Each structure stands twice: as C-alpha cells, then as structure tokens.
Amino acid sequence: MTPSTAGSKATGPVAPSLRRQLAIRLSIGITLLWILALASAAWVVRHELDEVFDSALQETAERILPLAVRELIAREDQLAARVSRMTEHEEFLTYVVRNAEGRVMLQSHDVDLAQFTDPPRDGFRDTEALRIFSRSAVSGAYVIEVAEPLIHRRKAVLETMQTLFVPGLLLFPVSLLGIFWFVGRALRPVDRLRTQVTRRSGTDLRPVDATGLPQEVEVIALAVNQLLERLTRTLEAERSFTANSAHELRTPIAAGLAQAQRLIAEAPAGALTNRARQIEAQLQRLARLSEKLMQLARAEGGGVLAETPSDLSPVLAFVVEEFRRAGHGDRLHLSLPENGVAPSRMDPDAFGILARNLIENALRYGDPAAPVEISMQPEGGLRVANAGPVVPADQLAQLTQRFARGTGASARTGAAASGDGAGLGLAIVETIAQGAGAQLRLNSPRTGHKDGFEALLVWP
C-alpha cells in the first residue's frame, strides 16, 4: 500500500508572466509600428521619386525638342541616315519626334513604337508599361514624346525600401532582446517585492520593505503593510485571549481537581466515589486542554526560530526521558546519531513542545502493545512512528486541523478512545513547523509496514 501524505496542495493553472506579456506586447506593437513606418516611407519615397522622375522626363523633353526641331528643319532629307548611325547603349529614357501628320521623324535607337500608339497630347500620361511626357513645338508641327519604363521606377522604390528594410531587419532581433532586457530590469522591484512575500512563513508578519519601489508598486507594498498590521493586531488579540484564558483556567482547574481527589479519598465506596472519579477525569482532560491552548498560543505567537542554530538531539533525549519517568519507558525506542544532528534554527523550547506532542499522540493512539519509534537523521529530521490501524487518507489530511481527532486504536487494541484527546496536538506541531520553515508529513501506513502511523518532520 502506498503511504498517504498529508498536507499536499493541489497545483492550479500557472499564472501568466507579467514580464513575458509586456515584452511580447511591446514587441508586437513595435513590429506593427515598424511595418507601418516602412509602408509610410514606401509611399513617401514613391511619391518623391515620381516627382523627381517626372521632372527629369519634362526637362529631357524640353531640352531635346528645340535641338530636334532645329535639326529636322535643317537636314530633313538626311534623318534616316543619321538615325541609322546612332550608337546603341542602354536607355532609361526613350523618345519619339513626330510631325503634324504623325510620321516619326526622329527616335531613340531602343524605342518600341508599338507602345506609342495613343494620340500624343501635351503633359503626362501612363500606359501599361510607360510613363510618357509629351510636348509640341512650332505650332504643333512637331511633337516629342519622352518615355520612361514604369518598372524602372518600381525597381528604384524597391531598392530604396530594401536599403531601409535590411538594416531594420538586422536590428529587429536586437530590439526584441533589448525590450526583454529593459522590461526585466524595470520589473526588478516587483520581483524583489514578490520575493519578500513568497519567502516568508505564515508567522512572519513584519512589514515588507518598500524602499526604492516605483510609485505604482509602492502603493501595493504600502497596502500589504497595512493589511499585515491589521492582521498582526487581530492575531495578537486572539493569541493573548487564548493564552490568558488558558492561564486563568489553570488555578480553578487545579483547585477543582484537588477537591475531587479529596472527595474520592474521603467518600465511601459506591456511587459517590464513581461520580467523583468521573469529575476527576473530566478535570484532568480540561487541564490537558488548557495546556494545549497555551502551547498553541506560544506556537502562533512566533518565536519559533532561534538566533543561532543548535543541535536539537539533546532536547529530544530530554523529552523522551520525561515520558520514561512518567511510566512509558518500556514503549519508547529512541535512536540518535552518534555525532549529533545538523544544527537547526528551530527554537529548542518550540522543538520540545513539538516533540512532546508527537510522542504523546503516538502513545495515546498507537497500539499499547507495540513500541513507539523515535529517531533523528544526521542531516536534520525527526521521525515518530507507532503501530496501529491505518488512518484513512481523507482523515489523514485533516489531522493537522484544530480539534481534529483520528479514529484511534481503541476499537482494535483497547487503547484510549479518540475522545480523550484535545485534538490540538498535530495542529500545534504543524503551526511550529510552518513558523520554523520545516515540513511536516503524515503517513499511514508507516514506511516499511502495512499498518500504523508515522510523522516525519524535515527542517532546512
């Protein structure tokens, strides 16, 4: 049978990381802005290049036209021969000069006349492949058309955008890394505040340090400190009431117990004596409850950590010796390392209360015919185990709650009934363990057996 472990906590869904969310959203936002900026730059560049190229077209036409007209008038019969003698070269601009009847009088060597089919008119016009500027001269006797391929303009825009895009593409990963780094650096105060809160035990109610926090986070720290202050006052009032009440009850309980014992001694045997013994048993139970309440108030009141670490094995040996002198020596089997135990910061008095409650719980609910095993590990840890019935898993998880009682061993072994306990022993142990940063594990059955109960305390 697999041992059951008390105190396990169900893990919920992992909360989203604020750092990751900020970094991702900032990266997406910067990426979108960068793309928008590139699109805007492309539109502006195209518009400006169109203006420059249009100006070049117009300037070229107006420069060529007077020269062409002068040459045509002077040497009209030699045009064909002159055109044929032009040297071939790469042309970004082509031109055609026509007369009033539309006949081509002069042309560049690389011109495609099939693309100049539309009737010429002064000004700019676009075809599927060309941007054309037309200008007439000599009262419309001659018309020049200068054309530039639109693909040349698109290529110029594309190359310009590539010049802008490539450096940005190379800097984009660097900017993302920079965003993650800056976001992480900006959230360091939040991490520091989180560390202060998460590393604290349940009994550490000191104010958190709000020094150096940004305004947005400082407000949270101040609110946490106010909450801790109110919680401290509430808990102190509760502990004070518990401790004072338990202390004030000790004297009347002791007086009532003495009177009951005197009545038992003086009364004749019979119903009166039996009733007096019942009163004595209830007063003893009330005295134990008062003691447990004082121990619980001590555990909840803090002070479970010592200033300097110490070896707790002598404390355990002293507690066990007290139980042996009380008549339980034959049942207690103590095992301590020869070279002592690793020092612990748990307060020796608090550890004594913890060990006393674990041993008392094992003696009360364990099999009276079987020993109680008590041992400490050299690296730090306490184990108290006893034989007895297996505690169901649903009850095992509730044993550290206040006034919770196990099923006990009375039904099978004749031990004391579960109602005799105060139901505070393991709650006190759990409170001290949490305050000291230790971990309490309850197993049933005990390790290596098919029955019994085992309490394991591991401290750092």
281 and 337 part of one domain: no
Query: What is the pLDDT, as a whole number, of residue 406?
Result: 54
Read off the pLDDT of residues 424-456 as tens digits, 9 standing for 90 and up: 778 888 888 887 788 899 998 898 888 999 999
pLDDT band at 79 (very low <50, low <70, confident <90, very high): very low
181 contact partners, CB below 8 Å, separation of at least 6: none
The per-residue pLDDT of the chain, averaged, comes to 77
SS3 (DSSP) at 121 = coil
Query: What is the pLDDT, as a whole number, of residue 290?
Result: 67
Structure tokens at 343: 């020092």
Query: What is the pLDDT, as a whole number, of residue 408?
Result: 44
User: Cα separation of 334 and 373, whole Å?
Assistant: 6
- Strand 372-376 with 344-346, pairing: unpaired
**pLDDT of 81 strictly over 60:** no
Buried b (16+ CB within 10 A) or exposed e, 390-415: bbeeeebbebbeeebbbebbeeebeb
Residue 29 placed within a domain: yes
pLDDT band at 414 (very low <50, low <70, confident <90, very high): very low
For the chain, what is the largest distance between any 2 Cα atoms, rounded to a whole number of angstroms? 162
If one counts the domains in the chain, the total is 3
Task: Please answer whether residues 141 and 148 qualify as being in contact, where contact means their C-beta atoms are separated by less than 8 angstroms.
Answer: no
Task: Please answer whether residues 307 and 346 qualify as being in contact, where contact means their C-beta atoms are separated by less than 8 angstroms.
Answer: no
Residue 201 placed within a domain: yes
Last residue of a domain, one of 251, 273, 302: 302
253 and 361 part of one domain: no
Residue 2 placed within a domain: no
Residue 113 placed within a domain: yes
Query: What is the pLDDT, as a whole number, of residue 373?
Result: 93
Residue 192 placed within a domain: no
284 and 378 part of one domain: no
Structure tokens at 47: 């518009």
Query: What is the pLDDT, as a whole number, of residue 67?
Result: 78
63 contact partners, CB below 8 Å, separation of at least 6: none
AA identity, residue 419: G
Task: Please answer whether residues 179 and 26 qualify as being in contact, where contact means their C-beta atoms are separated by less than 8 angstroms.
Answer: yes
Last residue of a domain, one of 147, 181, 215: 181
284 and 313 part of one domain: no
Query: What is the pLDDT, as a whole number, of residue 293?
Result: 67
Read off the pLDDT of residues 116-131 as tens digits, 9 standing for 90 and up: 777 777 888 888 888 8
pLDDT band at 410 (very low <50, low <70, confident <90, very high): very low
Under DSSP, the state recorded for 208 is: P
322 and 242 part of one domain: no
User: Cα separation of 460 and 458, whole Å?
Assistant: 7
DSSP 29-95: HHHHHHHHHHHHHHHHHHHHHHHHHHHHHHHHHHHHHHHHHHHHHHSGGGHHHHHHTPPP---SSEE
276 and 314 part of one domain: no
pLDDT band at 419 (very low <50, low <70, confident <90, very high): very low
Query: What is the pLDDT, as a whole number, of residue 243?
Result: 64
141 and 206 part of one domain: no
Residue 377 placed within a domain: yes
Buried b (16+ CB within 10 A) or exposed e, 215-250: eebeeebeebbeebeeeeeeeeeebeebbeebeebe
Query: What is the pLDDT, as a whole number, of residue 232?
Result: 78
pTM of the model: 0.48
Structure tokens at 218: 């400082």
pLDDT band at 299 (very low <50, low <70, confident <90, very high): low
CATH for 280: 1.10.287
Structure tokens at 417: 């009934």
Residue 238 placed within a domain: yes
CATH for 319: 3.30.565.10
Read off the pLDDT of residues 2-51 as tens digits, 9 standing for 90 and up: 333 443 444 445 567 777 778 888 888 888 888 888 888 888 888 888 88
Last residue of a domain, one of 181, 212, 237: 181
Domain boundaries, position 22: 18-181
pLDDT band at 247 (very low <50, low <70, confident <90, very high): low
Pick from 232, 236, 201: which is nearest to 433 by CA? 201
Least confident of 23-27, 112-116, 285-289, 338-342: 285-289
